[in-house]
């Protein structure tokens, strides 16, 4: 099932941004107000990959390497400059709402909880938005409350939650409609060791249930535990795509954690 | 109707801000008192002004204050900043239409304001004999007109918001609000306008926001009289919805959701 019918296919995917160059000083600002200067930033510059159903991919890259851009393209929130990306045969930006039913997106830095209301209201809202039938909704909520141990958060207003509690709620919301594939952008950012471990355990369980997981994180311990496969993106290009063992082989087969391996990779390739 | 869940969430959210509630309630009461005092002064030496009695004028103006909370909500849409800061991503990765979602959000807030502030004010004004319940047919026409005015007003702000992040300039319809407010008849009915301004206001769609529903309520015009206005209001509303859809479809292709 893995490689026969890939769920996500990206081919020569590019996304360039035209960015206005900021002025230096007031005189310059005045000049540029009338004659702005632009430069092109190649956030993603020709990336090709295929991800099978049920795979768990760790997406590694320095800040600004193109991680979030890739995720946004797969979610249909950005349109490719050139090249294509498909999720389950659909082009996300052309079939944004059809794509939306299959995917889940979680951004560690951007909660989707209704800030002022009890947690249950956020779930109720999403249940409606995804048109979940009452029994499907109940089963899904019950499962997630159990697995993420958040039963006592159910009636708590989101604004009073700790970061770890909020992250758990956000994760549960992402999985509520039982998506085929989940994109996670820094899900463990700012969390303590125990909270991180809890989230990794949860993601592994979801992987075992057959959910395809695309996990971008700077916390390489997350990836080491969750990801069968790692992709390393640098300045918009894919430098490595394979298993963790294969990555170790590339830098001479020395044992070590994923973090040590990736550091060596950067050093040997003289990047950064 | 899944979008009602958004209206519900916003409605519930309203209850969370108690200080905000009392501030807005006081503001509304003060505005109503000022309007009442103002028209009493204006009408001291005159039975009729511009063909309207003081009773009619008060009914028009005070009813406008009762529903003002509902009609003020679309102004707070702030679509541009939401796109620029990236908070809109979560809305965009859901199986739903953004303009409909935002409309129900503002509707939820507007209904909260209508029920929590407008309704008590109305009851007091009604008990004081300052506004009277019109006949059922008039009431129905009033509600229909108000609903259309609301949708059209929302669409206007939505289109304006989409154009903002399209063009990346800061000029929005919001900045023209005083003009729209005047032409909509928010504070004085169009009967008070000099001839040339009346012609302009009559040919623009904004009168559908306040003037048409309030003149129905206060008996300045009958449902039969405003039928053409209601029809043109309906066409305008549909046109604005279509425009909002078209502009959004174009904009979403160029959308740049910012932030990592």
B179 compared with A49, residue with greater pLDDT: A49
Beta bridge partners of A184: A106, A215
Confidence bin at A139 (pLDDT 50/70/90): very high
Give every CB contact of residue B116 below 8 A, 6+ residues apart in sequence: B14, B21, B25
CB contact under 8 A, B260 and A109: yes
In angstroms, the separation between the Cα of residue B95 and the nearest Cα of chain A is 4
Would you tell me how many other CB atoms lie within 10 Å of the CB of residue B202? 13
Closest C-alpha among A216, A224, A166 to residue A191? A166
User: Could you give the angle at which helices A119-129 and A163-175 cross, rounded to 10 degrees?
Assistant: 20
* Residue A101 touches partner B, C-beta closer than 8 Å: yes
- The full DSSP string for A64-95 is TSSHHHHHHHHHTSS--SEEEEEETTB-TTTS
- What integer pLDDT is reported at residue B74 of this predicted model? 85
Full residue range of the structural domain in which residue B135 is found = 2-253
Kindly give the pairing relationship between strand A103-107 and strand A181-185. parallel
Q: What does pTM read for this prediction?
A: 0.87
- Say yes or no: B9 contacts chain A, CB-CB below 8 A: yes
Q: How far is CA B65 from CA A78, B33, B230, in A?
A: 43, 10, 21
Q: Residue A130: closest CA among chain B residues belongs to which residue?
A: B95
The pLDDT confidence band at residue A2, using thresholds 50, 70 and 90, is very low
Position A109 scores a pLDDT of 86
List, for residues B33-64, the tens digit of each pLDDT value. 999 999 999 999 888 888 899 999 999 999 99
Residue B73 lies inside a defined structural domain of this protein:
yes
**Alpha carbon distance B86, B84 (integer Å):** 5
**Do B2 and A128 count as a contact with CB atoms less than 8 A apart?**
yes
pLDDT in tens, A180-224: 999 999 999 989 999 999 999 999 999 999 999 999 999 999 999
For residue B72, the cross-strand partners are none
The 10s digit of each residue's pLDDT in A165-177 is 999 999 999 999 9
Residue B248 lies in a domain: yes
Query: How many Å apart are CA A15 and CA A42, to the nearest integer?
Result: 6
Interatomic CA distance for residues A265 and A242, integer angstroms: 14
Query: Is the pLDDT score of B260 beyond 50?
Result: no
| Mean residue pLDDT across chain B | 87
**Which of A77, A101, A126 lies closest to B89 in CB terms?**
A77
Q: Is the pLDDT of residue B166 over 70?
A: no
DSSP B96: S
Question: How far is Cα A36 from Cα A13, in angstroms, rounded to an integer?
Answer: 28
Per the CB < 8 Å rule, is B93 touching A109? no
Chain A residues within 8 A of B87 when measuring between CB atoms: 110
Torsion of CA B224, B228, B234, B240, to 10 degrees: -150
Average pLDDT over residues B181-189: 91
pLDDT greater than 60 at residue B83:
yes
Token reading at B197: 């301004």
Q: Which residue of A has its CA nearest to B259?
A: A68
Minimum-distance CB partner of B9 among A64, A76, A125: A125
Over 60: is that where the pLDDT of A36 sits?
yes
Contact A105, B93 (CB under 8 A): yes
B41 touching A (Cβ < 8 Å): no
Residue recorded with tokens 């066409």: B235
Q: How far is B128 from chain A (nearest CA, A)?
A: 37
Is the Cβ–Cβ distance between B73 and B105 less than 8 Å? Answer: no
Please answer yes or no on whether A72 and B89 come within 8 Å at the CB atom: yes
Q: Is A81 on the interface with B (CB under 8 A)?
A: no
* pLDDT digit string, tens, across residues B191-203: 999 999 999 998 8
What's the domain count of chain B? 1
Label residue B78 by pLDDT band (50, 70, 90).
confident
Q: Can you tell me the distance from the alpha carbon of B210 to that of B131, in angstroms, rounded to the nearest whole number? A: 16
How many C-beta neighbours within 10 Å does residue B138 have? 18
Place of tokens 């859901």: B94
What confidence tier does B257 reach under pLDDT thresholds 50, 70, 90?
A: low
Q: Provide the 3-class DSSP secondary structure of residue A235.
A: coil
A77 exposure class (CB count in 10 Å sphere: 0-12, 13-18, 19+) = buried
Query: Which residues in chain B are closer than 8 Å to A134, comparing Cβ atoms?
Result: none
Assigned domain for B224 exists: yes
In a domain, B258, yes or no: no
Residue B152 is assigned to a structural domain of this protein: yes
Q: Is residue B260 part of a domain?
A: no
CA closest to A95 among chain B residues: B95
Q: Cβ atoms within 10 A of the Cβ of A269, count?
A: 14
Of A100 and B1, the one with more pLDDT? A100
Domain membership flag for residue B122:
yes
Cβ pair A129:B253 closer than 8 A: no
Sign of dihedral through CA atoms A222, A225, A228, A231?
positive
Cβ within 8 Å, pair A76-B16: no
What are the φ/ψ torsions at residue A46 (nearest 5 degrees)? 90, 70
Assigned domain for B259 exists: no
């Amino acid at each position: 099932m893995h490689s026969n019918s890939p769920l996500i296919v990206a081919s020569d995917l590019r996304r360039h941004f035209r960015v206005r160059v900021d002025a230096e000083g007031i005189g310059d600002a005045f000049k540029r107000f009338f004659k702005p200067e632009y430069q092109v930033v190649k956030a993603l510059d020709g990336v090709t990959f295929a991800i099978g159903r049920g795979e768990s991919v760790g997406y590694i890259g320095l800040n600004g390497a193109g991680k979030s851009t890739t995720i946004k393209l797969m979610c249909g929130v950005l349109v490719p400059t050139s090249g294509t990306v498909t999720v389950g045969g659909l082009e996300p930006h052309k079939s944004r709402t059809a794509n939306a039913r299959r995917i889940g997106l979680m951004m560690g830095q951007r909660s989707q909880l209704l800030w002022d209301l009890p947690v249950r209201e956020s779930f109720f809202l999403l249940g409606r938005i995804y048109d979940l039938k009452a029994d499907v909704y109940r089963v899904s909520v019950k499962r997630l409350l159990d697995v993420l141990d958040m039963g006592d958060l159910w009636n708590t207003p989101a604004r009073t939650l700790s970061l770890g509690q909020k992250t758990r709620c956000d994760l549960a919301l992402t999985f509520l409609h039982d998506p085929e594939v989940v994109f996670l952008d820094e899900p463990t950012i700012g969390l303590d060791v125990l909270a991180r471990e809890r989230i990794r355990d949860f993601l592994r369980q979801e992987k075992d249930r057959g959910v395809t997981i695309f996990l971008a994180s700077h916390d390489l311990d997350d990836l080491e535990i969750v990801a069968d496969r790692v992709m390393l993106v640098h300045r918009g290009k894919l430098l490595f795509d394979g298993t963790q063992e294969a990555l170790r082989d590339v830098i001479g087969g020395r044992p070590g954690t994923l973090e040590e391996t990736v550091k060596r990779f950067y050093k040997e390739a003289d990047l950064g | 109707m899944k979008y009602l869940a958004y209206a519900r969430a916003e409605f519930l959210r309203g209850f969370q801000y108690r200080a905000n509630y009392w501030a807005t309630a006081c503001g509304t009461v003060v505005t109503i008192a000022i309007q009442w005092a103002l028209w009493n002064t204006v009408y001291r030496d005159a039975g009729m002004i511009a063909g309207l009695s003081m009773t009619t004028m008060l009914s028009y103006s005070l009813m406008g204050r009762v529903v003002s909370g509902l009609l003020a909500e679309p102004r707070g849409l702030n679509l541009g900043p939401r796109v620029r800061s990236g908070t809109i991503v979560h809305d965009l990765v859901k199986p739903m239409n953004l303009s409909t979602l935002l409309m129900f959000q503002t509707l939820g807030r507007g209904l909260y304001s209508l029920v929590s502030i407008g309704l008590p004010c109305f009851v007091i004004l009604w008990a004081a004999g300052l506004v009277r319940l019109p006949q059922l047919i008039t009431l129905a026409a009033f509600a229909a007109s108000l609903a259309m005015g609301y949708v059209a007003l929302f669409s206007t702000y939505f289109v304006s918001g989409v154009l903002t992040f399209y063009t990346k300039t800061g000029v929005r319809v919001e900045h023209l609000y005083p003009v729209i407010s005047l032409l909509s008849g928010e504070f004085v009915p169009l009967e008070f306008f000099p001839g040339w301004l009346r012609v302009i206001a009559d040919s623009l769609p904004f009168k559908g926001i306040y003037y048409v529903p309030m003149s129905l309520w206060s008996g300045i015009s009958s449902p039969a009289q405003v039928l053409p206005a209601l029809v043109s209001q309906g066409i305008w509303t549909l046109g604005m919805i279509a425009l909002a859809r078209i502009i959004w479809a174009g904009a979403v292709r160029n959308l740049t959701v910012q932030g990592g």
